[in-house]
């Protein structure tokens, strides 16, 4: 379908809104194309989340209501503690490795429990965290060949970006483009890692001395962590059989090691309340309105639009109205 045909469809859907029709007629093709592509990408992400593969379904269906969630929480606590220690030593490569594991774990939990339709853990795994996109957005401010700013945030799936992704953005303030979202939760400084919860209990971020090298957690070796990102189509019966074999090996070795560690350290994953902030205090994003809005003048729908093209945010709001008027 050509963009002209797509515009005609939009005009037909908005026939009861003359002002919106004027906007659609005069919108530049590149703005419209950017919006359409972004919408399709979000649809593809949503479709993927609604279709976890057989390994992830098996993990959710067969987990014990305490064992895997407790292990998951302890793993988040481990990586958050080591991440904080590495930052204190100014060892950013090591901090990035632990942040990478946190994002990977959160991505797995997100695919398992937050697809908007089903909780494939049957409410046995409940993970709460502030969404990282407002902070991640600050990492992508370079421009492409057309001079447009890159805003391709991935959220928890950012761990899939390249072989050694940087998580330096967690130490900074969220991007102003997400001011409305940030206002809803109030976290306008560095990312609040200490606010993460698993099954209603905060993770435990301990003040430890960094060993100077990456120390994995037992849960990192769980076969679900190397199988959950695969699409249902790519995760065939042979791969599922391989996953189940890996799971048997994990349960007979690494799971026992985890139990021994938990018992030795007294880590029965009891709630200790919220830990101290992981990141140092910084100047936060200003959440106040920078200026008072001017009173809009009445404009006839038939009047010519100003020479300056509308922002992509305005276009999104207008196009979203089409769906609401169906």
**SS3 assignment, position 254:** helix
Q: Indicate if the pLDDT at residue 304 is higher than 60.
A: no
Determine contact, residues 247/239, Cβ cutoff 8 Å.
no
Q: Indicate if the pLDDT at residue 287 is higher than 50.
A: yes
Q: Are strands 197-198 and 127-128 parallel, antiparallel or unpaired?
A: antiparallel
Backbone angles phi, psi at 17, to 5 degrees: -130, 90
Closest residue by Cα to residue 159 from 77, 225, 234, 246: 225
> When comparing pLDDT for 23 and 59, which is higher?
59
- State how far the Cα of 34 lies from the Cα of 313, in Å rounded to an integer: 11
Average pLDDT over residues 57-67: 94
State the first-to-last Cα distance of the chain, in angstroms, to the nearest integer: 21
pLDDT of residue 223: 97
Which residues face 202 on adjacent strands? 197
pLDDT in tens, 168-177: 999 999 999 9
Question: Among 17-26, 204-213, 226-235, where is mean pLDDT lowest?
Answer: 17-26
pLDDT of residue 300: 47
pLDDT of residue 21: 73
| Structure confidence at residue 53 as a pLDDT band (50, 70, 90) | very high
Backbone angles phi, psi at 266, to 5 degrees: 70, 25
Average pLDDT over residues 245-254: 94
pLDDT of residue 307: 45
pLDDT in tens, 182-197: 999 999 999 999 999 9
């Amino acid at each position: 379908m050509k963009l002209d045909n797509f515009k005609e469809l939009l005009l037909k859907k908005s026939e009861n809104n003359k002002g919106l029709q004027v906007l659609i007629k005069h919108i530049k093709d590149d703005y419209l194309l950017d919006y359409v592509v972004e919408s399709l990408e979000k649809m593809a992400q949503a479709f993927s989340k609604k279709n976890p593969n057989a390994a992830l379904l098996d993990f959710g269906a067969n987990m014990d209501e305490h064992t895997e969630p407790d292990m998951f929480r302890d793993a988040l606590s481990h990586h958050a503690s080591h991440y904080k220690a590495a930052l204190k030593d100014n060892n950013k490569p090591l901090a990035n490795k632990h942040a990478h594991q946190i994002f990977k774990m959160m991505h797995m939990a997100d695919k398992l429990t937050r697809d908007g339709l089903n909780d494939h853990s049957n409410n046995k795994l409940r993970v709460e965290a502030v969404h990282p996109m407002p902070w991640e957005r600050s990492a992508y401010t370079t421009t492409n060949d057309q001079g447009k700013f890159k805003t391709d945030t991935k959220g928890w799936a950012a761990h899939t970006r390249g072989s050694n992704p940087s998580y330096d953005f967690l130490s900074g303030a969220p991007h102003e483009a997400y001011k409305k979202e940030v206002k809803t939760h109030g976290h306008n400084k560095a990312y609040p890692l200490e606010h993460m919860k698993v099954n209603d209990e905060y993770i435990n971020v301990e003040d430890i001395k960094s060993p100077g090298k990456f120390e994995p957690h037992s849960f990192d070796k769980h076969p679900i962590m190397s199988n959950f990102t695969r699409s249902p189509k790519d995760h065939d019966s042979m791969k599922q059989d391989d996953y189940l074999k890996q799971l048997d090996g994990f349960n007979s070795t690494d799971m026992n090691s985890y139990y021994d560690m938990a018992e030795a350290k007294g880590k029965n994953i009891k709630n200790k309340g919220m830990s101290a902030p992981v990141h140092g205090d910084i100047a936060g994003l200003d959440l106040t309105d920078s200026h008072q809005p001017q009173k809009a003048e009445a404009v006839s729908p038939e009047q010519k639009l100003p020479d300056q093209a509308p922002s992509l945010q305005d276009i999104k709001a207008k196009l979203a109205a089409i769906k609401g008027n169906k």
